A = this chain, B = another copy of it.
């Protein structure tokens, strides 16, 4: 039982490894700075489907297939899928995972879902409950606008603090280290690929509510949750921020990023050279008119696949703390005047 650290963290004795990833992104994301690094960029955000929601499901299907193919695996080689999205009753996930026919744990952590799925997936592998699992999260600009804000056809204006929901899906195959070695020495082309990164630990977030109520400024609502999870991680592992080459939040955007830097500064930590945010990386602020940046569970998921894992693999970074953040509101809670509780799940990723 020696894997628990402090109040909310785990250090895996045999760290699970990420053996492959699949990323599918929308048109706008393809035109951004990370465009060339996605496995697939859609030319049409409807993806040939009859509705935005089915398009998002199609992205989940494709991202999973790409990750499986890169690892030389069939769906039946994966024991569990841990997946989620932003939509009510997770319909993108339910329809997106039908064909895979893999036992499914449906997850909701708003935009923190990729961190949640990686945490639970890593636990399943590290606990000996699965040889390999799929961890996946998606979002789609059009489904999210319809779900949380206004129909696109209204042409509604948005304040500068608002973020742009990323159209994208990221999928990972997480495996036990032994299995990964067996794959490498063994079967076929995919077997020669080395793993992308190890998941050496996780810090599971708790709900944080600072009374934020502005759904057009979710960065401000989520920054305190990111702060809490990062502090908890450093405390639980008894390290300081310099243990990490980068601390990478999910989708705080410009406003939330600045708030988090300020909160950390008050705590005596200067994170200015370490802190990065997927929501800021994914779009070109000057050219793409995305205001405060990108958001949605797909934001951190595709940035992980296209930017973070490659930099761990090529040795640019040795250890990063990946912290997707989620704002837990719905139109019902918002219209009833409730606050926006937030949550952030931390995943410690290390070079293999």
Contacts and interface: CB of A to CB of B under 8 A. Distances in A.
Contacts of A207: 94, 97-98, 101, 104
A351 to B, nearest CB: 24
Interface in A195-248: 204-207, 209
A288 interface: no
A336 B94 CA distance: 15
B333 A95 contact: yes
Query: Which of A94, A108, A131 is packed against the most chain B CB atoms within 10 Å?
Result: A94
A330 B88 CA distance: 7
Count of identical protomers in the assembly: 2
Contacts of A110: 89
A4 interface: yes
Nearest to A122: B129
Interface in A109-153: 109-110, 116, 119-120, 123-124, 126-131, 146-147
Contacts of A329: 89, 91
Interface residues of A, number: 64
Contacts of A50: 336
A108 B128 contact: no
Contacts of A147: 88, 332
A50 B88 CA distance: 22
B127 A204 contact: no
Given A80-B204, A123-B129, A128-B3, A116 B106 contact: yes
Interface of A: 1-4, 7-8, 10, 50-51, 53-54, 76, 79-80, 84, 86-91, 94-95, 97-98, 101-110, 116, 119-120, 123-124, 126-131, 146-147, 176, 204-207, 209, 328-333, 336, 338, 341, 343
